[in-house]
């Protein structure tokens, strides 16, 4: 990271780390400020950051070196793949030290500089984040604000921004200007750097709320069956109407509504009487040959699969189906678009909701498949400075409990004989698998069973095209945009 204090470096560091860990790239933040607080127990004033304070400069350099030693250990001994070095790094001398360290150890370096000259944005960042720092624990807000602004001035005098046109033209970097108003990218070298650039170009800091909920209770939920494309139960239809009332009470401006392409989410969205977009990426995890079966039937008919899934639920892939790991990859475009949007309601499915929730709450792959996402409950997510605040809101409509706790055997550790990713060999016959989406006529007939939820006009289905209802094709364009960026980085 590069930039003056209060420019959002730690915000970017933590958010980027959360994203990279979610997509399966082990990443860790090394915040030099925390090393400094450990070395200097009591912070007195901005004098510590004055460039002519030689004693303090020695301490700050030692803290940076200590952080770099930990970076080396993380990348070489702890299976880490990316280390985010979160510090100001405002001088060429300090960045040169980092480059030499990387060269000695065979590491790549990608610089992210946050530039912001808007005094209002800087002041807001100081008030919302910096004044709650341990440095100002026993200080009133006025004195703390004054001290921190003087601290910024200490860095300003010696600040040397990245110069991709001349001095730093050989470096790989991105300059984020005025909180994402403009970007300057230079010498992106690999796939991961491309993904980082694309992610940073999609996030924003505007206030917004994201609502996640599952569809109303379905007929298959009542029977204990997984997957499939069943319609809503009577209680599920009541939830759809209750969700409509809840959304109206929230009084949200320009609320976007997203669903999967499966019947139960579409029927739930129809009750809202709002335009909605259907995303194939939001479809429930594909259970392959186990679609439309109960867990008891899976245990009896596929006992080995039943045991294997319990051993490691994140990596296990249903034969001819998906794993949670696959689902995360499928949902990455959804996360990107969620980061671009403001207020959004996502009506989805249990496994999908777990994956999305794991991203926003920074949950590990081990925790993800066991996150509780009950039916007829809305999770209200509000992004805050360094994370996300979550509020669980039950709409008081009874529903079955579809949550399965982690088995005791799985808590003891993975079985050494575990098949982590099942792949059906090309030479083997493809197992019989039922279609997940029924005919257009059946879809319309079942949708009509929900009172007050019949669309005013029936959409036309183009030859060879999937049913889109009130949806649009923007998600398809989004996939193409991601694909072109990652395959042909510039």
**Which positions are annotated as active-site residues?**
86, 116, 215, 284
Contact by Cβ (8 Å): 212, 357: yes
β-bridge mates for residue 390, sequence order: 381
Question: If DSSP codes are grouped into helix, strand and coil, which group holds residue 29?
Answer: strand
The tokens for 228 are: 């499939």
Our separate counts of H helices and E strands in the chain read: 17, 11
Task: Give the closest residue to 319 by CA, choosing from 425, 216, 465, 225.
Answer: 425
Q: Rounded to whole angstroms, how far apart are CA atoms 360 and 379?
A: 11
Measure the CA dihedral 345/349/352/358, to 10°.
Answer: 70
φ, ψ (nearest 5 deg) of residue 218? -105, 170
Tokens of 43: 């912070």
CB 162 within 8 A of CB 175: yes
Angle at 55 between CA 50 and CA 61, to 5 degrees: 85
Structure tokens, 81: 């793949």
Q: How many residues does the chain have?
A: 490
């Amino acid at each position: 990271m590069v930039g003056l204090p209060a420019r959002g470096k730690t915000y970017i560091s933590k958010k980027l780390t959360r994203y990279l860990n979610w997509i399966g790239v082990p990443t860790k933040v090394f915040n030099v400020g925390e090393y400094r607080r450990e070395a200097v127990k009591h912070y007195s004033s901005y004098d510590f950051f004055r460039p002519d304070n030689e004693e303090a400069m020695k301490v700050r350099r030692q803290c940076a070196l200590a952080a770099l030693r930990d970076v080396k250990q993380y990348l070489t001994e702890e299976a880490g793949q990316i280390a985010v070095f979160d510090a100001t790094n405002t001088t060429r001398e300090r960045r040169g030290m980092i480059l030499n360290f990387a060269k000695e150890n065979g590491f790549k370096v990608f610089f992210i500089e946050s530039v912001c000259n808007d005094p209002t944005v800087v002041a807001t960042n100081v008030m919302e984040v910096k004044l709650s720092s341990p440095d100002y624990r026993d200080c009133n807000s006025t004195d703390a604000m004054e001290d921190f602004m003087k601290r910024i001035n200490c860095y300003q005098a010696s600040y040397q921004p990245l110069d991709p046109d001349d001095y730093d033209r050989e470096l790989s970097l991105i300059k984020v200007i005025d909180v994402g108003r403009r970007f300057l990218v230079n010498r992106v070298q690999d796939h991961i750097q491309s993904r980082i650039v694309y992610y940073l170009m999609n996030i924003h800091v505007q206030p917004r709320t994201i609502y996640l909920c599952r569809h109303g209770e379905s007929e298959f939920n009542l029977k204990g069956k997984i997957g499939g494309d069943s319609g809503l139960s009577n209680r599920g239809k009541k939830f759809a109407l209750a969700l409509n009332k809840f959304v109206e009470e929230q009084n949200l401006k320009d609320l976007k509504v997203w669903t999967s392409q499966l019947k139960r989410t579409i029927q739930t969205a129809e009750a809202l009487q709002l335009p909605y977009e259907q995303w194939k990426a939001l479809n429930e995890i594909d259970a392959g040959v186990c679609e439309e079966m109960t867990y008891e039937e899976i245990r009896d008919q596929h006992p080995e699969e039943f045991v294997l899934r319990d051993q490691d639920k994140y990596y296990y892939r249903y034969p001819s189906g998906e794993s949670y790991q696959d689902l995360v990859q499928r949902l990455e475009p959804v996360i990107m678009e969620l980061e671009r949007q403001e207020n959004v309601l996502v009506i989805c499915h249990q496994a999908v909701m777990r994956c999305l929730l794991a991203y926003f709450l920074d949950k590990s792959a081990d925790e993800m498949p066991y996150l509780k996402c009950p039916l007829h409950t809305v999770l209200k997510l509000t992004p805050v400075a360094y994370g996300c605040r979550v509020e669980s809101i039950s709409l008081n409509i009874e529903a079955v409990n579809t949550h399965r706790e982690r088995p005791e055997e799985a808590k003891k550790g993975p079985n050494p004989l575990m098949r982590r990713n099942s792949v059906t060999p090309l030479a083997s016959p493809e197992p019989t698998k039922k279609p997940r989406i029924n005919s257009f006529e059946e879809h319309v007939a079942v949708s009509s069973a929900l009172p007050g939820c019949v669309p005013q006009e029936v959409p036309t289905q183009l030859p060879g095209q999937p049913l889109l209802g009130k949806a649009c094709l923007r998600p398809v364009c989004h996939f193409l945009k991601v694909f072109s960026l990652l395959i042909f980085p510039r």
